[in-house]
Amino acid sequence: MTKKLLIILGPTAVGKSDFAIAKAQQLHSPIINCDSRQIFREMKIGVARPSEEQLAAVQHYMIANHSVEEHYTAGIFELEAMALLQELFKDHDTLVMTGGSGFYIDALCDGLDDFPPSELQIRSELMRRMDTEGIESLQRQLEQLDPESYHSIDIANRQRVVRALEVTIATGRKFSSFKTSPAKQRPFQIEKIGLTREREALYARIDARVEKMMEEGLEQEARSLAGYRDLPALNTVGYKELFDYFDGKYPLEEAERLIKRNTRHYAKKQMTYWRRDISINWIKLD
């Protein structure tokens, strides 16, 4: 019998966890996480990690299994997830995976292209410019040198912009030109289910989730992680806004408003990213 991986994806706060748990119980499967932030054990409230009740309902893997201090990439996720799937498929014909990180899902489904290693001197200079000139300067340069990457990556993500520019400058080739390798063949069938809601309903769920996070102690969690604020893992909506609040840039109420706004923007970017994938079967939730 052909093994199958069922991937439940969709924008933040759409209801992936509950949907995936119901599917996993129906299929007698564990759940493999593919959210790029839920892998970090120090981040709980701000990344909407499944509740204790949800974690108890179904066995979950790849949640809180790394530290924010560790260097972690989509390439590492691909290797770890493939090894885990190989083991789990010994006892299961169908496995359920869920998360909202499109790049991680693509890494698992298709594999990653062979990009050149980092050029530390160029990266250091780009990071210095980021601090002195702002991300907008690097975004403009990327748009000029590699418009394909500018329009396809998340240009609000500092690490992505720096990496794209670093490769382009170091090699003299567009970052986007490296993304030409054929998709890797996987020894299992892949089915993708995308969850969506009406925009107003999704935005209301996002606002309610942020308010619940604040009630559960997101501010305190962010304070405990302030010492790690320059690490890539903490370049995350919910934490960034609170770090600025800690710096006195605006009051707490404004931080909460910005978290809601930026989470809505992130959900919109997620949907834009996935619209290019015609293999996704979309389900609109009530």
Structure tokens at 137: 């300067």
Does residue 26 have a pLDDT over 90? yes
pTM over the 0.85 mark: no
Distances in Å between the Cα of 154 and the Cα atoms of 39, 149, 266 are 20, 9, 9
8 A C-beta contact, residue 23 and residue 10:
no
pLDDT at res. 14: 98
pLDDT at res. 111: 86
* Per-residue pLDDT band at 286 (split at 50, 70, 90): confident
Does residue 221 have a pLDDT over 90? yes
pLDDT at res. 180: 61
Does residue 179 have a pLDDT over 80? no
| DSSP per-residue letters across 143-172 | HHH-HHHHHHS-TT-HHHHHHHHHHHHHHS
pLDDT at res. 182: 72
To the nearest whole number, what is the mean pLDDT of the chain? 93
Residue 63, amino acid: I
Q: Which of 39, 40, 20 is nearest to 30 (CA)?
A: 20
Contacts of 227 (CB under 8 A, 6+ apart): none
Mean pLDDT across 265-279? 92
Does residue 157 have a pLDDT over 90? no
* Per-residue pLDDT band at 90 (split at 50, 70, 90): very high
Proportion of the chain above pLDDT 90, given as a percent: 72
Does residue 140 have a pLDDT over 90? yes
Proportion of the chain above pLDDT 70, given as a percent: 98
Domains of the chain: 4-113+189-198+274-284 (3.40.50.300), 120-178 (1.10.20.140), 199-269 (1.10.287.890)
Mean pLDDT across 69-78? 87
Q: Which of 27, 17, 13, 58 is nearest to 206 (CA)?
A: 13
pLDDT at res. 60: 98
Does residue 181 have a pLDDT over 80? no
